[in-house]
């Protein structure tokens, strides 16, 4: 029992917290009415409400008054007082002047991060308090059970202990009623803090599920065991909750069978009548969006029209109001550090359950409560034995004592890891060895690995404890055994070994055969590739017919005469061999006809750790050149012809390659000639692709590396160096580093005028680029003068119109439009549009931008119907080609919302603009000018809808950030500031 001092201290802190908490909540709501929708702050204040409930529980029940609860409650009091102090600083008083109100508005923005951290601290303390209360309840129950158990003594000892036991029982009798009352009160309060929730596996009136969408063919034929884990999941889902779905997290290291357990639970839930069951690939934000798209197509009715941009909102709304029971699995949420917005994709429906699988420990915080965070360890021994017997085909050995002993020895050494046991069974079956022979093989191979692969120690450092490190070593050794089996039994064993190593230098989720087929075409023709790559030779077949031209980017019209074609069947055969020993996780044929496969992440780690330093350098080099060849193979008319899914896959591979280049930069001895291998070409093409996909920050990094490399090897005035400098300057523009961009463009222009002459297309392009930078900086007059110079120089050259001239037209037209010279702007812009349509086609990204520019000019001229039609047509194509989250697509969406505003369709305009702002914040950041201009446009829409207070808040939040992004004298800022002052005047006279 707690001591009296602790009881009084905890009760005092609880009373203080309960008394002040309610006042703070009311005060906060009043304060935030002046800045934003109070319902938004209510979502945060609910944490204080819940802590108040727990504080009142402690105050009513002295048994909960311990030093721990007292300490936690006092900490909560401190945090709430800090919150109150912060609120007092930003609260607007009736007598405050306009300047004071504006300053407090800026202060409120500045305090956002501080307040968010305070709420995070309170959430942490609330969790600690719940754990503390749960422990006290457990201890109270244990005290009772201990007293009762002591009466069960041997009959010979009863007489000696009678007096003492009588005293203890008297004491127990006296405290039991109060403990019972305390437990009842605690249970009642905790139940109020929970959500009413129904376990989907216990749905009434079982009937076949109306929706059952889980991966086909991924559940093993004979699912073994894991009944205890499945029961834990079921029990966790059965606990009551007040609102929202119950989230259960299943966490464990790779290969523990998380996905298989989730699939088995789905199967059982289907049989027991859960209304709807869905599967989401939670590997990344992109894969979640793709899964939501698939779910949308399966559940929406014919009358529902859901665009890709609305998919997430549609899913969240639909499941929030779903009438029947539902289960949604979020599988493979392993990259919690990068993908930290998973909560935004979890539906809030009261009738649903979420099962999330992950390797990452922080995923536990997504669970609804402590019991819903389930850590998945190794298999129970009996299940591990059964798995090894079945996968090895040696089921008869379990009938002998020696056989059971040998099998136990194996599964113990493999740490009961399901994937390791499965691979060991496959090795035993393929090698036709006895169970008692396996450990001899195992020990020999482990000794060899430790001798030749010291890098394994690096992997140990990623683990949390020594036992886990030993487990990982055993798992890696088992994979090495399977790997050696492949080398001995398969044709082209060495080539398959090297090919598997090469696979490990790509993103493991989706590796396409097309990467390697494209490389083999390019590498057989151009000298700057590394050829031959021996591991790819077995994948080549017959010779190309004479006269066939190399596809993709091929300005010199090189032919494939005398080169060998790609043999897809042979490549698939190799993948099948790797899959049979579990070294490749899964594979399938995509819609493009190519084989797509994946590696288990731990298999990928193992491969890279067992590989020599020299081989790792070589694979880094080859992986980069493969990516370059693939991009060149898909490059037509200044654009990469790739589906969105292929673009996302290539972007993931690029991330791995960029990380792998650290192997080259950190190596003490390089086994390859980096400069001689022309890795600068790899950086050039990958950088172009990143920028094309709107990944400006990553593109800038490679552009900078390219300039540094070429300045060192070619000199600062070489044509190739100048081209790299021009690209880097444009990357600076995308990142809004306008001063750096202007400086670099002017340096490039000076060198090009000397090297190429004033009328060379590249010189003219640089002049237009400088004009564009000046336009972005708000210097319209100077920008127009320079842009006219570029256009006039192009006209003097009298050459055919090309991309350079069209870019000059686009720049001049945009500058003219900004100054209100609409007639001339339209003429120049249409000249660009017509030319691009003839040269590039109507669906080329550059053509679409020209069309959108024409539509914006039409809007300014009041031709709203024509502007909307042209924008919608262009936007639809952009979404298919670039994706909905590309900066160019978002800019078009923004412009379309402005047209809707001018048409008076304010509700639709507001909805569209809010969507743009939300994505831009994630993509570019909340302080990027695109984000801020969209926010400014939203403020204008709200003003038009006469929502003056909300509009004023947005004006206040945006004006200071715009000044910082564009500069105080930028024409856009001057106009926006005038609008802000006018709005304040209107509100003051209203």
Q: Is the pLDDT of residue 906 over 60?
A: yes
Alpha carbon separation from 311 to 240, 316, 345, 904 (Å, rounded): 30, 9, 11, 26
Contacts of residues 294-300 at CB distance under 8 Å and 24 or more positions apart, as own/partner, are 294/213, 295/213, 298/211, 298/213, 299/211
Structure tokens belonging to residue 688: 């172009």
pLDDT value for 399: 66
Give the number of other Cβ atoms within 10 Å of residue 736's Cβ: 19
pLDDT value for 200: 43
Q: Flag the least confident range among 12-21, 323-332, 665-674.
A: 665-674
Query: For the purposes of burial, counting CB atoms within 10 Å of the CB of 294, is it exposed (0-12), middle (13-18) or buried (19 or more)?
Result: middle
Q: Flag the least confident range among 73-77, 320-324, 580-584.
A: 580-584
pLDDT value for 487: 67
Contact 406, 385 (CB under 8 A): no
The residue whose two tokens read 């017509």 is 834
Q: Is the pLDDT of residue 158 over 90?
A: no
Q: Which residue has the higher pLDDT, 457 or 429?
A: 429
**Three-class SS of residue 211?**
strand
Q: Is the pLDDT of residue 260 over 90?
A: no
* Average pLDDT value for residue range 116-138: 74
pLDDT value for 571: 94
pLDDT value for 862: 93
* Average pLDDT value for residue range 304-324: 84
Q: Is the pLDDT of residue 419 over 90?
A: no
Backbone angles phi, psi at 946, to 5 degrees: 65, 25
The residue whose two tokens read 């060379």 is 760
Backbone angles phi, psi at 407, to 5 degrees: -65, -40
pLDDT value for 139: 63
Report the CATH number of the 882-989 domain: 1.25.40.10
Contact 574, 511 (CB under 8 A): no
Q: Which residue has the higher pLDDT, 538 or 62?
A: 538
User: How confident is residue 747, by pLDDT bands cut at 50, 70 and 90?
Assistant: very high
Q: Flag the least confident range among 165-174, 459-468, 977-986.
A: 459-468
Q: Is the pLDDT of residue 952 over 80?
A: yes
Place domain 200-375 in its CATH homologous superfamily: P-loop containing nucleotide triphosphate hydrolases (3.40.50.300)
pLDDT value for 143: 52
> Could you state, in order of their start, the residue ranges of all structural domains in the chain?
4-155, 200-375, 381-489, 758-857, 882-989
In tens, the pLDDT along 538-592 reads 999 999 998 899 988 888 888 988 899 999 999 998 988 887 666 777 788 888 8
Q: Is the pLDDT of residue 157 over 90?
A: no
In tens, the pLDDT along 438-447 reads 777 656 653 3
**Three-class SS of residue 375?**
strand
* Average pLDDT value for residue range 870-895: 93
- What is the domain class of 758-857 according to CATH? mainly alpha
In tens, the pLDDT along 911-932 reads 999 999 999 998 888 889 899 9
* Average pLDDT value for residue range 405-432: 77
CA distance linking residue 10 with residue 389, whole number of Å: 57
Alpha carbon separation from 270 to 276, 282, 451 (Å, rounded): 8, 22, 50
pLDDT value for 916: 94
Q: Flag the least confident range among 25-39, 83-97, 396-410, 713-727.
A: 25-39
In tens, the pLDDT along 261-293 reads 999 999 899 988 898 999 999 988 988 999 999
pLDDT value for 351: 85
pLDDT value for 364: 84
User: How confident is residue 349, by pLDDT bands cut at 50, 70 and 90?
Assistant: confident
Q: Do domains 200-375 and 758-857 have the same CATH topology?
A: no
Contact 953, 984 (CB under 8 A): no
The residue whose two tokens read 């009043």 is 30
Q: Which residue has the higher pLDDT, 448 or 507?
A: 507
The residue whose two tokens read 């120089």 is 793
User: How confident is residue 910, by pLDDT bands cut at 50, 70 and 90?
Assistant: very high
Q: Is the pLDDT of residue 376 over 80?
A: yes
Q: Which residue has the higher pLDDT, 892 or 491?
A: 892
Give the number of other Cβ atoms within 10 Å of residue 948's Cβ: 15
User: How confident is residue 95, by pLDDT bands cut at 50, 70 and 90?
Assistant: low
> For residue 60, is it left (φ>0), alpha (ψ between -120 and 50) or beta?
alpha
* Average pLDDT value for residue range 732-760: 93
In tens, the pLDDT along 859-871 reads 999 999 999 999 9
Q: Is the pLDDT of residue 163 over 50?
A: no
pLDDT value for 671: 57
Share of the chain above pLDDT 70, in %: 77
How many Cα atoms are found within 13 Å in the side-chain-facing hemisphere of 113?
2
- Chain centroid offset of residue 188 CA: 40
Contact 626, 530 (CB under 8 A): no
Q: What is the mean pLDDT of the chain?
A: 80
Q: b/e map of 257-285 (b: 16 or more CB within 10 Å)? A: bbbbbbbbbbeebbebbbbbbbbbbbbbb
* Average pLDDT value for residue range 777-798: 88
User: How confident is residue 431, by pLDDT bands cut at 50, 70 and 90?
Assistant: confident
CA distance linking residue 472 with residue 382, whole number of Å: 21
User: How confident is residue 3, by pLDDT bands cut at 50, 70 and 90?
Assistant: low
Distance between terminal CA atoms of the chain? 64
pLDDT value for 109: 67
pLDDT value for 57: 81
* Average pLDDT value for residue range 56-66: 79
pLDDT value for 638: 77
Q: Which residue has the higher pLDDT, 606 or 914?
A: 914
pLDDT value for 468: 40
């Amino acid at each position: 029992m707690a001591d009296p001092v602790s009881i009084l201290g905890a009760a005092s802190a609880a009373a203080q917290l309960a008394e002040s908490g309610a006042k703070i909540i009311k005060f906060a709501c009043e304060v935030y009415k002046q800045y934003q929708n109070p319902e938004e702050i209510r979502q945060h204040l609910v944490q204080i409400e819940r802590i108040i409930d727990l504080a009142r529980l402690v105050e009513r029940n002295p048994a909960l008054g311990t030093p721990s609860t007292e300490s936690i409650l006092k900490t909560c009091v401190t945090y709430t007082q800090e919150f109150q102090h912060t609120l007092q600083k930003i609260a607007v008083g009736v007598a405050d002047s306009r300047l004071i109100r504006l300053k407090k508005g800026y202060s409120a923005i500045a305090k956002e991060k501080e307040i968010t951290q305070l709420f995070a601290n309170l959430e942490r303390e609330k969790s600690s308090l719940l754990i503390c209360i749960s422990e006290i309840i457990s201890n109270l129950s244990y005290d009772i059970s201990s007293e009762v158990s002591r009466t069960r003594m041997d009959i010979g000892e009863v007489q000696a202990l009678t007096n003492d036991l009588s005293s203890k029982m008297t004491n127990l009798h006296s405290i039991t009623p109060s403990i019972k009352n305390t437990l009842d009160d605690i249970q009642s309060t905790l139940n109020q803090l929970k959500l009413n929730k129904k376990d989907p596996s216990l749905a009434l009136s079982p009937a076949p599920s109306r929706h059952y969408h889980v991966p086909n063919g991924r559940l093993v034929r004979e699912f073994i065991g894991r009944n205890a884990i499945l029961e834990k999941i079921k029990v966790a889902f059965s606990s009551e909750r007040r609102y929202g779905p119950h989230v259960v997290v299943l966490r464990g290291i790779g290969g523990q069978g998380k996905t298989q357990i989730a699939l088995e639970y789905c199967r059982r839930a289907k049989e027991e009548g859960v209304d709807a069951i869905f599967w989401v690939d939670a590997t990344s934000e992109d894969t979640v969006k793709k899964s939501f798209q698939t779910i949308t197509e399966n559940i929406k009715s014919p009358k529902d029209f859901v665009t890709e941009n609305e998919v997430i909102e549609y899913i969240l709304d639909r499941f929030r109001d779903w009438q029947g029971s539902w289960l949604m699995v979020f599988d493979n949420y392993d990259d919690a550090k990068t993908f930290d917005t998973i909560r935004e994709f979890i539906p809030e429906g009261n009738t649903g359950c979420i099962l999330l699988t992950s390797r990452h420990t922080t995923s536990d915080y997504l669970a609804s409560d402590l019991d819903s965070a389930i850590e998945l360890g190794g298999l129970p021994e009996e299940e591990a034995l059964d798995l090894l017997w079945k996968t090895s085909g040696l089921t008869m050995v379990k009938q002998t004592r020696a056989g059971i002993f040998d099998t136990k020895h194996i599964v113990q050494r493999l740490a009961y890891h399901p994937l390791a046991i499965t691979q060991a069974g496959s090795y035993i079956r393929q090698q036709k060895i006895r169970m008692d022979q396996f450990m001899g093989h195992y020990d020999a191979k482990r000794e060899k690995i430790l001798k030749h692969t010291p890098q394994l120690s690096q992997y140990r450092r990623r683990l949390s404890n020594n036992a886990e490190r030993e487990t990982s070593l055993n798992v890696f050794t088992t994979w090495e055994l399977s790997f050696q089996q492949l080398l001995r039994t398969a044709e082209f064993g060495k080539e398959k070994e090297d090919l598997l190593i090469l696979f490990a230098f790509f993103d493991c989720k989706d590796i396409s055969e097309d990467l390697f087929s494209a490389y083999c075409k390019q590498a057989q023709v151009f000298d700057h590739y590394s050829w031959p790559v021996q591991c790819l030779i077995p994948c080549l077949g017959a010779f190309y017919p004479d006269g066939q031209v190399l596809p993709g980017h091929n300005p010199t019209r090189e032919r494939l005469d005398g080169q060998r074609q790609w043999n897809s069947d042979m490549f698939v055969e190799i993948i099948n061999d790797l899959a049979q020993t579990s070294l490749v996780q899964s594979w399938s044929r995509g819609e493009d006809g190519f084989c797509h496969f994946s590696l288990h992440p731990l298999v990928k780690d193992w491969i890279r750790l067992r590989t020599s330093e020299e081989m790792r350098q070589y694979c880094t080099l080859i992986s980069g050149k493969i990516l370059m060849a693939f991009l060149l193979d898909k490059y037509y008319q200044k654009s990469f012809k790739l589906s969105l899914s292929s673009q996302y896959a290539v972007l993931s591979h690029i991330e791995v390659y960029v990380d792998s280049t650290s192997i080259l930069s950190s190596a003490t001895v390089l086994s390859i000639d980096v400069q001689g291998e022309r890795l600068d070409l790899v950086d050039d093409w990958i950088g172009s692709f990143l920028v094309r996909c709107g990944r400006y920050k990553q593109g800038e990094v490679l552009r900078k590396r390219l300039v540094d490399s070429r300045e060192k090897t070619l000199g600062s005035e070489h044509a190739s160096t100048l081209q790299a400098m021009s690209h880097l300057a444009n990357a600076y523009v995308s990142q809004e580093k306008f001063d750096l961009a202007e400086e670099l463009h002017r340096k490039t222009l000076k060198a090009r005028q000397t090297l190429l002459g004033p009328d060379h297309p590249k010189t003219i392009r640089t002049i237009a680029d400088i004009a564009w930078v000046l336009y972005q900086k708000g210097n319209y007059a100077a920008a127009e003068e320079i842009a006219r110079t570029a256009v006039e120089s192009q006209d003097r050259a009298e050459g055919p119109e090309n991309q350079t001239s069209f870019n000059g037209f686009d720049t001049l037209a945009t500058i003219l439009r900004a100054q209100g010279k609409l007639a001339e702007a339209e003429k120049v812009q249409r000249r660009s549009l017509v030319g691009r349509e003839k040269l590039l086609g109507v669906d080329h990204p550059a053509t679409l931008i020209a069309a959108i520019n024409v539509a914006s000019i039409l809007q300014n001229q009041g031709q709203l119907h024509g502007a909307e039609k042209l924008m919608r047509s262009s936007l639809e194509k952009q979404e298919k080609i670039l994706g909905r989250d590309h900066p160019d697509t978002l800019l078009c969406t923004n412009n379309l919302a402005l047209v809707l505003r001018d048409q008076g369709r304010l509700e639709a305009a507001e909805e569209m603009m809010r969507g743009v702002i939300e994505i831009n914040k994630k993509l570019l950041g909340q302080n990027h000018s695109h984000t801020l201009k969209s926010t400014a446009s939203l403020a204008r829409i709200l003003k038009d809808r006469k929502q003056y207070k909300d509009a004023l808040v947005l004006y206040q939040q945006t004006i200071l950030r715009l000044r910082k992004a564009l500069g105080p004298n930028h024409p856009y800022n001057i106009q926006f500031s005038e609008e802000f002052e006018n709005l304040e005047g209107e509100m003051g006279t209203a």
